[in-house]
Amino acid sequence: MNVVGKDLIKKILAELQGIDIDNSAAERIAATATSINKTFKPLGAQSFFDTEPAQFNRELNELAEKSELENGR
């Protein structure tokens, strides 16, 4: 799994947006990006959601249903 580091986040924001963020904010953004990557990585091998919108919607619905069950809804 690719882990996104705070230094990469700071570099991207500096180059693309011309802003400098503190380490704490960069760490939070990096943790979120890494979590998203971790969630969708297994789906990449079995689906075409990057090129097929209907497949992407099905995957999101399945993830939402699992999350709701885990949260007692």
pTM of the predicted model, to two decimals?
0.56
Taking only the tens place, the pLDDT of each residue in 51-60 is: 677 777 787 8
Q: Tens digits of per-residue pLDDT, 27-42? A: 999 999 999 888 877 7
CB burial class (10 A; 0-12, 13-18, 19+) of residue 64?
exposed
Contact 2, 37 (CB under 8 A): yes
